[in-house]
Structure 1
């Protein structure tokens, strides 16, 4: 998966978005809540890791679900960690990269990661690191995004110019192949479409910026976008309007994988 954004740009973008993120994170809350509901019913970790913790919303949810466990929250964005630390949930908040975790082998029984791993260029390395830090029998539960996400916005920009204006995502088939080769046992790997609606395009693009998830890809156009092109984009997007408003489609991946108890 080439041409994903540079990690430093991702970290800087989400750091800037720390204060505004929770106010516009409807999708993120719904997806993370669904991922929590998909955890094995018998899971009782002594230590859990919230990987890509963001503002710490799900660190606090994990602390509530597993009150006897010790929690660790990791994020690549220092601004998010500064926002999350005073709110609690995890015992420690650590700056770290999902592709090279600053953790010892077999240190936790649950790695939970919701809507963060789509920014990692080397998903095989993410899976290898999760497998390394999980104790035998431990669980990796993640949600991510795949091709088809924000397709309306992508198609509308395609009608206006040839630049990359929308973040690129892996194919679902790539997630399937990488998970199958990871050495982790897949308990679940599924795709679910979620559609949000907006009264106008400005609110959608404002929300993406507030989340830190606006266009971070290489090849994106530099400088300001001209008024004529914006008007053309609005006109192109209006073709997708539904009674509920302008749709924004997200293709969400849910994965629950277990490290084998033996031979793993």
Structure 2
């Protein structure tokens, strides 16, 4: 996402507020993170590893279980870290940190794992430079991120209602690939997964996005409450996408492995 499109303070505040509800509705997040974890080579045995954008610590715990090592959980949202700390594991350390300015020494880590966090960075290239800086030679970064096409149905429905930005904007795949190619890693691989969730009605989707802390965080979003007339128009527009399974919401997820 571009620097003009997102406010880190708004991101941190939104996810902090969502800390107690996030895990209740994070089925997709767990699935795509598990897919990323499964992509790590079986031969990988990191001595020092980080869960970057750890959120509630779900994958911090999974990394700890897989590698039997203490994991450093970093997140920009202090509320998420408080929740994660209460869940454990005891071996983890939790630090408030910005992915674009990591509080880690050069060449100090073997693995950086980050699931659905880096799409909230205004400058992904800077975050990748920081990752490369803190990785040891031969180290691995595994991350996934949302790309353009995510929540396309919701965006299309809103476009029928007004001209405001109501849905988070994500980087086009070609732009992401260009950023990856220019990040200075020895080699990398990127594969896109499409996930389509279905909802009985629009309110179920909007409730889930709010519970995740991932509702509209763009600059240019309308101020104040959404009026009844606009909500009624949005509901009618979204009904045009209805399938037998319900109202679809598509997520385009890029799964990426990079080696220093």
Helix, strand or coil for the counterpart of 1:18? coil
1:171 CA drift (Å): 0.7
Is 2:171 the partner of 1:182? no
Structure 2: distance between partners of 1:91 and 1:25:
22
Matched, 1:220 2:221: yes
Spell out, residue by residue over 1:159-209, the C-alpha distance to the aligned partner (whole angstroms, 9 max, x if none): 000000000110111111111111113342111111000000000000000
Partner of 2:20: 19
Match of residue 81 from structure 2: 81
Would you say the 8 A contact 1:56–1:87 is kept in 2? Answer: yes
1:1-264 counterparts in 2 under 5 A?
1-67=2-68, 69-89=69-89, 91-259=92-260
CA distance in 2, matches of 1:185, 1:193: 27
Mapped to 2, the partners of 1:2 and 1:71 lie a distance apart of 30
The separation in 2 between residues aligned to 1:231 and 1:176, in whole angstroms, is 39
Compute the displacement of 1:2 (Å): 4.1
Hey, what's the Cα distance between the residues in 2 that align with 1:196 and 1:185?
36
SS across alignment from 2:49: strand
Between Structure 1 and Structure 2, how many residues are aligned? 258
Encode CA deviations 1:17-75: one digit per residue, 9 max, x unaligned: 000000000110000000000011211000110000000000000000000x2310000
Contact persistence 1:200–1:245 (CA under 8 A): yes
CA contact (8 A) 1:147 1:170 kept: yes
CA–CA distance in structure 1, aligned partners of residues 92 and 165 of structure 2: 40
| Partner Cα distance (1:74, 1:181) in 2 | 25
Tell me, in whole angstroms, the C-alpha distance in 1 between the residues paired with 2:161 and 2:85. 43
Whether contact under 8 Å (2:19, 2:79) holds in the other structure is: yes
List alignment gaps of at least 5 residues for structure 2. none
Deviation at 1:85, TM superposition (A): 0.5
- Note if contact 1:75-1:95 (Cα within 8 Å) is conserved in structure 2: yes
Q: CA RMSD in A?
A: 0.9
Partner of 2:240, secondary structure, is: helix
